């Protein structure tokens, strides 16, 4: 390699390294875990928006760490009807969301993005699960390898959203999972006891 070419090569390598470090771009596509929140990461105690009602499902934070360490981006997609039911305001939700993410971050888990639908079912919005709207937005933003990504949740609508998006799907028996299992309209790739079980299954079965 002559000198000029070598310098250009080194420059290019540094630029790319920095970009990768900043997480802005990557040549390989991102594999994502689209996570439901209530009943999946934390106990589903109905519409809530305060730390005193927040209870993490056993080992769910460890599960998130496993998935993160496998190289997945973690994105939460949650229906937060409590906002438009006026149980809490959007500002209160966002404040709580910040506190929630701080707890995860203190446990070395970084959530890339939280998508939330504030609408009531009757509003027939474009974003409420099982609609795939948020996944479509994420795809535009994060260069996602959707076929090697997963949606995980304790409600049939989490599975329907994933199936429609061509992601793999894992249905959880935690949260409301047991109650709603008969309402599944599509067969998930796996049915797990909880998020930790799901993470172990992904670790075992995905080609990483």
Q: Contact residues for Mg ion (CB under 5 A)?
A: 36, 38-39, 154-155, 175
For Zn ion, which is the closer residue by CB, 127 or 200?
127
Cα–Cα distance for residue pair 159/173, rounded to 1 Å? 13
Tokens of 178: 């047991």
- Characterize the bridge pairing of strands 168-172 and 73-79: unpaired
Helix axis angle, 156-165 relative to 133-142, nearest 10°? 50
For Zn ion, which is the closer residue by CB, 153 or 188?
153
125 interface partner picked from Mg ion, Zn ion, none, CB below 5 to 8 A per type: Zn ion
DSSP type of residue 35: E
Minimum CB separation from Zn ion for residue 185, in Å? 20
Q: Tell me whether residue 36 is one of the annotated catalytic residues.
A: yes
Q: Residue 137 interacts with Zn ion (CB under 5 A)?
A: no
For Zn ion, which is the closer residue by CB, 101 or 125?
125
The one segment of 14-22, 92-100, 115-123, 179-187 that binds Zn ion by CB under 5 A: 115-123
Q: How many CB atoms lie within 10 A of CB 119?
A: 18
Query: Which position among 128, 129, 155, 180 is part of the footprint of Zn ion (CB under 5 A)?
Result: 128
154 interface partner picked from Zn ion, Mg ion, none, CB below 5 to 8 A per type: Mg ion
For Mg ion, which is the closer residue by CB, 153 or 165?
153
The gap between the terminal CA atoms of the chain, to the nearest Å, is 34
Q: Residue 125 interacts with Zn ion (CB under 5 A)?
A: yes
DSSP type of residue 194: S
For Zn ion, which is the closer residue by CB, 54 or 125?
125
Asked whether the beta carbons of 193 and 199 are under 8 A apart, the reply is no
Q: Residue 119 interacts with Zn ion (CB under 5 A)?
A: yes
Query: Which position among 70, 127, 137, 184 is part of the footprint of Zn ion (CB under 5 A)?
Result: 127
38 interface partner picked from Mg ion, Zn ion, none, CB below 5 to 8 A per type: Mg ion
For residue 152, the surrounding DSSP H or E stretch is strand 150-153
Q: Residue 120 interacts with Zn ion (CB under 5 A)?
A: no
Task: Return all residues near 143 (Cβ < 8 A) that are at least 6 apart.
Answer: 25, 26, 29, 30
Cα–Cα distance for residue pair 58/63, rounded to 1 Å? 9
> What residues are annotated to the active site?
36, 38
Q: Enumerate binding residues for Zn ion (CB under 5 A).
A: 117, 119, 125, 127-128
């Amino acid at each position: 390699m002559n000198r000029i070419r070598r310098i250009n090569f080194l420059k290019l390598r540094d630029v790319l390294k920095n970009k990768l470090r900043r997480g802005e771009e990557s040549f390989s596509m991102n594999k994502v875990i689209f996570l439901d929140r209530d009943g999946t990461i934390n106990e589903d105690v109905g519409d809530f928006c305060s730390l005193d009602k927040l209870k993490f499902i056993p080992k769910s934070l460890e599960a998130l760490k496993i998935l993160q360490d496998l190289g997945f981006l973690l994105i939460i997609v949650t229906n937060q009807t409590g906002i438009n039911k006026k149980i809490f305001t959007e500002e209160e939700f966002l404040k709580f969301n910040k506190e929630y993410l701080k707890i995860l971050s203190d446990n070395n888990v970084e959530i890339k993005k939280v998508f939330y639908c504030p609408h009531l079912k009757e509003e027939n919005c474009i974003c409420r699960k099982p609609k795939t709207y948020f996944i479509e937005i994420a795809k535009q933003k994060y260069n996602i390898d959707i076929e090697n990504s997963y949606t995980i949740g304790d409600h049939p609508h989490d599975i329907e959203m994933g199936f429609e998006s061509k992601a793999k799907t894992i249905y959880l028996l935690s949260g409301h999972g047991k109650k709603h299992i008969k309402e599944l309209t599509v067969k998930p790739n796996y049915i797990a006891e909880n998020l930790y079980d799901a993470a172990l299954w992904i670790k075992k079965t995905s080609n990483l």
